[in-house]
Structure 1
Amino acid sequence: MTMPDGSYPMPTPRVRFDVINQAWAMLQQQMGTWVLVMVAYVVVAGLCQYILGKLPYAGALLSSIPSAILMAGVYKVALKHIRGEVIAVGDMFSIGDVIGPVIVASILTTIGTAIGLVFCVIPGVVLSALWLFTLLLIVDRGLDGVAAMRESLNALKGEWLMITIFMIVVALVGVAGVIACGVGVLITAPIAVLSIALLYRDFFPETGAGAPGDPYSAPPL
């Protein structure tokens, strides 16, 4: 079916698991830098969580914020890698312009997921999966926290079961490195991050290069 101008609409993206293989191939291109990125993440996030975790009452909630900020930076590194650019550890700290939205999203998703977990666990897991692209949307498109959560949910709700399974599989890949005395996570965690970022690009292509709603200029093969 063609659009009024004769072009073809963009096909609906689907959750696919071969992004994990793609992520592994990409990781090998700049593995050294990715290891350093993950070391920086683990050290800084761990230190922040240790300090904030000692605070009474809101400590648990606040301790998730530094991890979210750092993860937003890691996703920025992943998107840069996907564009074919050379990445650097410093890239993960160049997110000062989106810290506010990241904090808002972190608090809201943490509360929302926690509430969902109360109801037989499954709703919380599904909600977490539907919000999987939230940080990426903030970093990539500059959305505010609430808008990013809504956009992620709207994009993935039609694939809610597959994205939930995908999130679980990717999480298992990410933590598999713990088996190797914890060191292996420096390799498996980047695979998980790149897998999510690659899938995100399926649903949200580069602006001006087939963004959602943009028609193809040529008919499908």
Structure 2
Amino acid sequence: MATLNIGDCLGAAWAQYRKNMLTHIVATVLVTAIGNLFFGLLTGPLLVGYMRMMRAEEAGQPVSFTDVFRGFDDFGPALLAALLAGILVAVGFCFCVLPGLLLLPLVPLALHEVADGEKDAIQAIKTAWGQLRPNLFMALICSFLISVFAGIGALLCGVGVLLTLPLAYLGAYHMARQMSGDPRVVIAL
């Protein structure tokens, strides 16, 4: 599997965000609001749709914030991958904070696999683990930096999260793209 370059990951996230900021903000609001409205159950399918939107945008195709709903095409695998990966992360946090932190990138990696066409949630998680295992330390640092960016927005009276949470989603997407070894990864948009 591919190695993770944090600078390229964050640089690609920023470049993609800057190119189409309003669409990413609205897509993030949809994912977060609808996901929270349904107690997180729809977050997996919505994030799969958002990842598909990001991939289409990288390929130069026109995108819309409504593309987040394209994840419902694979509702079952997206829901199950998000739930199972989330449970694994939660169990990791129960044993100590560090195992949970190390497993945290498993969720976007598994959802990325579903977004790329994996129809079996268990296989998506297995593949994600295979990608994460050789990159544990770098993925931990990348996830931490992505979380810091998102957290900065929350400090600005909560309103700033509208600007920073899309960067967190984009960063997680580009981290998953790099770790999957996908040759279509675009660094500079």
Superposition TM-score, scaled by structure 2 size: 0.86
The CA deviation at 1:131 is 4.4
Query: Post-superposition, which runs of at least 4 consecutive aligned residues in structure 1 deviate over 6 A?
Result: none
Matches within 5 A, 1:92-103: 92-103=68-79
Give me the whole-angstrom Cα distance separating, in 2, the residues matched to 1:113 and 1:21: 27
- Is the aligned partner of 1:13 residue 2:2? yes
**What amino acid is the match of 1:39?**
V
Give me the whole-angstrom Cα distance separating, in 2, the residues matched to 1:210 and 1:185: 29
- Is the aligned partner of 1:195 residue 2:171? yes
SS of equivalent to 1:65: coil
Q: How many pairs were matched up?
A: 184
1:173 pairs, out of 106, 127, 149, with: 149
Query: CA separation of 1:20/1:154 partners in 2, compared to 1, >3 Å: closer, same or farther?
Result: same
Partner of 1:6: none
The CA deviation at 1:128 is 2.1
SS of equivalent to 1:95: helix
* Of 177-186 and 29-38, the range deviating more from structure 2: 177-186
SS of equivalent to 2:116: helix
- Is the aligned partner of 1:184 residue 2:160? yes
Aligned-residue sequence identity (percent) comes to 25
SS of equivalent to 1:109: helix
SS of equivalent to 2:62: coil
Partner of 1:133: 109
Q: Is the radius of gyration larger for structure 1 or structure 2?
A: 1
Give me the whole-angstrom Cα distance separating, in 2, the residues matched to 1:151 and 1:171: 24
Higher helix proportion, which one? Answer: 2
SS of equivalent to 2:96: coil
Give me the whole-angstrom Cα distance separating, in 1, the residues matched to 2:38 and 2:106: 27
Query: CA separation of 1:150/1:84 partners in 2, compared to 1, >3 Å: closer, same or farther?
Result: same
Partner of 1:44: 34
In structure 1, list runs of 5 or more residues that go unmatched.
1-11, 50-63, 212-221
